Amino acid sequence: MTASAIVTAAMLAIGDELLSGRTKDKNIGHLAEVLTLSGIDLKEVRIVADDEAAIVAALNALRGAYTYVFTSGGIGPTHDDITADAVSRAFGVECVHDPDAMTLLGDMYKRREMEFTEARRRMARMPIGARHIPNAVSTAPGFIIGNVYVMAGVPQVFQAMLNAVLPQLETGAKVISRSVRSPFGEGDIGGPLGEVQKRHPETSIGSYPKFDGQSFSTELVIRARAEEALDAAEADILAMLATITAARSSGSADA
């Protein structure tokens, strides 16, 4: 893929425990950081319950809209782990005990002198024809079908699987960013900052308020795909801040 192409992604986090508040998700923020650093734009995230219809509907909406979809959760050995079935249904293919995954897991349990129970065999189930995502932490693989990457919900395993697939992904022009600290609050700079944004449409300028307990300041984050665009917007913001500073110190309304 060329350096100027834009590669997009969505995430589908699956699990009742995320929606009941029992478990606080740790995978969304991690995926967001890793994809941003890799030059893949995470555009949308959805969280749904362990509910086949909900998973199928969300997955079909997302896989048609973005380059990649990453899922987390629901690939363990118990009855509430239904992600493999739901993904198979979304693609209209059969969900089977993958022979290679059966061998991998069978050998592992044999080494550990543990019974390869029916429940453990469930972890070998995936849509027919899916490719494995290796699991360096606990062996049971994730899988890839089409543009969908199905990974575990346990953060250590999710991260290991993501590390395993990352080198295979197409990546686009990286979004680079630069922070400028404004000593003024958002309410003071909001107007002129909007003008700066209009003059630099190839950048995206985010404004994040800070409060130190006494006064407000603002962190401005400029994002763009080209260094020159960042440079130009940064210079414009610094000039704007200098104008406000001069106006305040001279006591006049305009510098």
Q: What span, in angstroms and rounded, lies between the C-alpha atoms of 76 and 60?
A: 22
CB 129, min distance to a copy of itself, A: 25
User: By CB under 8 A, which span of 88-96, 124-132, 160-168, 193-201 interacts with a copy of itself?
Assistant: 193-201
| Selected binder of a copy of itself within 193, 224, 237, 240 (CB under 8 A) | 193
190 lies in the site for a copy of itself, by CB under 8 A: yes
| Selected binder of a copy of itself within 2, 4, 64, 78 (CB under 8 A) | 78
Q: What span, in angstroms and rounded, lies between the C-alpha atoms of 128 and 85?
A: 11
Four-residue CA torsion sign, 84, 86, 92, 94: positive
Size of the site for a copy of itself (CB under 8 A): 64
**Contact letters (x/-) for a copy of itself, 38-67, by CB under 8 A?**
---xxxxxxxxxx---x---x---------
| Selected binder of a copy of itself within 38, 52, 106, 120 (CB under 8 A) | 120
* ∠ Cα 107 121 135 (to 5°): 60
Query: Within 6-25, which residues bind a copy of itself (CB under 8 A)?
Result: 16-25
**Contact letters (x/-) for a copy of itself, 89-108, by CB under 8 A?**
--------------------
CB 32, min distance to a copy of itself, A: 3
- Name residue 167's amino acid: P
Beta-strand relationship, 148-151 and 68-72: parallel
**Contact letters (x/-) for a copy of itself, 158-187, by CB under 8 A?**
-----------------x-x--------xx
φ/ψ region of 35 (left if φ > 0, alpha if ψ in -120 to 50, else beta) reads alpha
Q: Kindly state the greatest CA–CA separation across the chain.
A: 81
Tell me the two tokens of residue 197.
Answer: 């944004």
Q: How many CA atoms lie within 13 A of 156 on its CB side?
A: 4
Residue 20, classified by CB atoms within 10 Å of its CB into exposed (0-12), middle (13-18) or buried (19+), is exposed
Nearer to a copy of itself, 104 or 154 (CB): 154
Could you list the beta-strand ranges (E) of 154-252. Answer: 176-182, 204-211, 216-224
Nearer to a copy of itself, 93 or 232 (CB): 232
| Selected binder of a copy of itself within 1, 136, 221, 235 (CB under 8 A) | 221
Binding residues vs a copy of itself (CB under 8 A)? 16-25, 28-36, 41-50, 54, 58, 76-80, 114-115, 117-120, 122, 154, 175, 177, 186-191, 193-194, 197-198, 204-209, 221, 223
